[in-house]
Amino acid sequence: MRHPNNKFIALCIFLSALLSCSTYKPSEPQVLFQADVTDSIPYRIPSLAIMQNGDLLALADYRICESDIGYGRVDIHGRISRNGGRSWGKEFVLIEGTGVSKAIDCGFGDPAIVADRESGEVLVMMVCGETVYWHETTTRQNPNRIAVLRSHDNGKTWSQWEEITESVYRLFDGSVHGCIQSCFVGSGKILQSRQIKVGTHYRIYAALCARPNGNRVIYSDDFGRTWQALGGMDALPVVNGDEPKCEELPDGRVIISSRTWGGRYFNIYEYTDIASGAGSWGEAAVSGTEENSCTAIENACNGEILIVPATRIKDCKEVYLALQSIPLGPKRANVGIYFKELPEDSSSITSESFATGWQNPYQVSESTSAYSTMVLLGNGNIAIYYEENENRNCNGGYDLVYKEITLETLTSGYYKSL
């Protein structure tokens, strides 16, 4: 990047002042799914994507069995915004479970979503069936099953669901660590590369919560029709990791962010050959109770990692920011967003350096709050979709809330969108 001269800085300051008077002001938080009646069916698990035509698609578990997927019938419900999140269409049923015990279609839950940037294709990955991830009876022979749904018209219509369990599990059957006994894709958002296109689509990455031995990452160059293990079948990105997400650094390397008690694990994948996917993971680093870390007091929870371009206001320099959403705590409460500026030479970033240097977080919620996901909107603002206001009369359900935040607000005036 070129260093701006004084005239350019003055112009940036003038334009910033002008735009601050006329730009769209985000609306108040909007509750997209709500279960506020005693003994009503709980909602959980936010998943959000911006589709190729600019529409937003928000999904959530509708837990008829009143518990996690694996304990009975769970459906997935959705809502679509056709005006950038300012208002939302009616709630609809994306897919229904049958509730039939031991059936593969007993329930569908924990959605993870990606929308292709070049077409109207949308992919949803989810857990299906009636097996519980952490139960000892859930094994390679009786696995936590994986299903997919597709849309080819920006979410207007959807395919029949398809089970892809074996195409994922068999990637690791020959591993020196033994086969995976149970796994699922970390719910929320699946990553699509902004730089790497080898097959028919830009590469996508799905991070797995897996046992034993923690996280794995799979990738696809044909939008999820076939999958490969990133780093090979023996790679263990985060040995002790729980629910994970992936993001892409500005230089094309892949970073995994994984839930742990008190904060996050981070690790980075370095390519040696992009076309074949060859490369290796570094050593995972923890970001938690240390100074300038992503601290989650008395909790471990699903969150979102997001890297966005920004302008540093004091000198109008273009930079990249890393954002990490997480319940600040104590316990599952006060969801917030940590941020940090990335170095100009992103190739210098290591797992250890990424785990430190985070700034004081912006607090999104002032209530009980848990899972969250984020996307970068077309106007440069950040959309966060999160669980808030746990309803203990509703078997642990939450309101699922959508909120739009300017970068200037999120960073206390240090940065703004490009």
What is the separation of C-alpha 140 from the centre of its chain, rounded to a whole number of angstroms? Answer: 26
**What does the pLDDT average to over 102-127?**
98
**Whole-number pLDDT of residue 215:** 98
Of 35-39, 119-123, 317-321, the poorest mean pLDDT is in 35-39
**What does the pLDDT average to over 26-45?**
87
Q: What is the pLDDT of residues 309-336, one digit of tens each?
A: 999 999 999 999 999 999 999 999 999 9
Q: Which residues of 176-195 are buried (b: 16+ CB within 10 A; e: fewer)?
A: eeebbbbbbbbbbbbbbbee
pTM of the model: 0.93
Q: What are phi and psi of 166, to 5 degrees?
A: -65, -35
Whole-number CA gyration radius for the chain: 21
Q: What is the arrangement of strands in the sheet containing 397-405, beginning at the earlier edge strand?
A: 30-33, 397-405, 382-391, 369-376
User: Does the structure show a pLDDT above 90 at 413?
Assistant: yes
Q: H helices of 312-418, where?
A: 351-354, 407-410
Q: Which residues of 80-118 are buried (b: 16+ CB within 10 A; e: fewer)?
A: bbeebbeebeebeebbbbebeeeebbbbbbbbbbbbbee
Q: H helices of 106-249, where?
A: 165-169
User: Does the structure show a pLDDT above 60 at 10?
Assistant: no
**Whole-number pLDDT of residue 1:** 39
**What does the pLDDT average to over 34-41?**
77
Q: Which residue has the tokens 């919620």?
A: 365
- How far is residue 184's CA from residue 210's CA, in Å, rounded to a whole number? 7
**Whole-number pLDDT of residue 396:** 81
Task: Please list the residues that pair with 322 across neighbouring strands.
Answer: 307, 340
Q: What are phi and psi of 109, to 5 degrees?
A: -155, 180
| pLDDT band (50, 70, 90) for residue 5 | very low
- Encoding tokens for residue 40? 């009503």
Q: Where are the beta strands (DSSP E) in 313-396?
A: 317-327, 335-341, 359-363, 369-376, 382-391
What percent of the chain is modeled with pLDDT above 70?
93
| pLDDT band (50, 70, 90) for residue 393 | confident
User: Does the structure show a pLDDT above 70 at 11?
Assistant: no
Choose among 150, 147, 149: nearest CA to 130: 147
- Encoding tokens for residue 343? 């170095």
**Whole-number pLDDT of residue 24:** 56
Q: Which amino acid is at 149?
A: L
CB 380 within 8 A of CB 417: yes
- Mean of per-residue pLDDT scores for the chain: 93
Q: What is the pLDDT of residues 261-294, one digit of tens each?
A: 999 999 999 999 999 999 999 999 999 999 999 9
CB 207 within 8 A of CB 215: yes
Give the angle subtended at the CA of 27 by the CAs of 21 and 31, to the nearest 5°. Answer: 170
- How far is residue 216's CA from residue 211's CA, in Å, rounded to a whole number? 10
Q: Classify residue 1 by burial, with Cβ atoms within 10 Å: 0-12, 13-18, 19+.
A: exposed
Q: Which amino acid is at 262?
A: G
User: Does the structure show a pLDDT above 70 at 49?
Assistant: yes
Task: Please list the residues that pair with 388 across neighbouring strands.
Answer: 369, 399
Q: What are phi and psi of 296, to 5 degrees?
A: -125, 100
- How far is residue 308's CA from residue 378's CA, in Å, rounded to a whole number? 12
**What does the pLDDT average to over 221-250?**
98
**Whole-number pLDDT of residue 27:** 72
**Whole-number pLDDT of residue 13:** 39
Q: What are phi and psi of 394, to 5 degrees?
A: -115, 35
Q: What is the pLDDT of residues 352-384, one digit of tens each?
A: 999 999 999 999 999 999 999 999 999 999 999
User: Does the structure show a pLDDT above 60 at 350?
Assistant: yes
Q: What is the pLDDT of residues 173-213, one digit of tens each?
A: 999 999 999 999 999 999 999 999 998 999 999 999 999 99
In angstroms, what CA-CA distances link 38 with 41, 247, 292? 9, 39, 41
- Per-residue DSSP letter, 368: B
Choose among 155, 215, 229: nearest CA to 185: 215
- How far is residue 198's CA from residue 207's CA, in Å, rounded to a whole number? 20
User: Does the structure show a pLDDT above 80 at 37?
Assistant: no
**Whole-number pLDDT of residue 130:** 97
Task: Please list the residues that pair with 386 across neighbouring strands.
Answer: 372, 401
